[in-house]
Chain A
């Protein structure tokens, strides 16, 4: 089955720096989504990129998708302490949303 695999598993950066997280998957998809989970809270939908798109922006977020390599990246620019959370990619195709294990991002003030 398809599965999002995030990389790195954990990332620690200083406030103001950029954070890049990567995701790889195995099968064809309709779209790929990124979610955030703050500690002890629910999943928040960040951005969705369709399989025919290559790049998408939303505020400080930039997502790329390379379907030939079955990979995606999430870039958070000018990070803030409030960005500290776990980030998950999720793929959507002919099966329910499939999530990876996530990247734990820590932004140090």
Chain B
């Protein structure tokens, strides 16, 4: 089966611009998660979808970040306007079982560089 797919793999944008990251989970996985790793720091949870609904968005840093999962399939994470501190690697993961079961499948990540 295909794994979790993220694109683009790398994005370089200027401060103030908009970037949209996409994640295609494993087919049939209702649970989709976004995480990010800012340079040199820990990997932090952003939000969790169950199908098309936001189950937990407690990790979203501010209202410049907007995540959607229309139709409960792929998800997008938009950053508008991007700031320098948004640079990092954004990971997406999916799972069949709810979040506390563990064993997520992660994508390869999108490396975002804001200059």
Contacts and interface: CB of A to CB of B under 8 A. Distances in A.
Contact of B107 (A42, A45, A97, A102): A42
A45 B109 contact: no
Given A88-B43, A96-B33, A97-B45, A31 B108 contact: no
Interface residues of B, number: 27
Contacts of A3: 42
Contact of A97 (B6, B41, B104): B104
Contact of A96 (B42, B48, B109): B48
A42 B109 CA distance: 5
Interface in B86-115: 91, 93, 99-109, 111
Interface residues on A, range: 20 to 34
Contacts of B45: 95-98
A101 to B, nearest CB: 4
A16 interface: no
Residue among A40, A88, A97, A98 facing the most chain B CB atoms (10 A cut-off): A97
Given A96-B56, A99-B43, A102-B42, A48 B91 contact: no
For the complex of A and B, 9 pairs with smallest distance between CB atoms: A99-B43, A42-B108, A43-B106, A96-B45, A101-B42, A42-B106, A92-B102, A31-B102, A48-B102
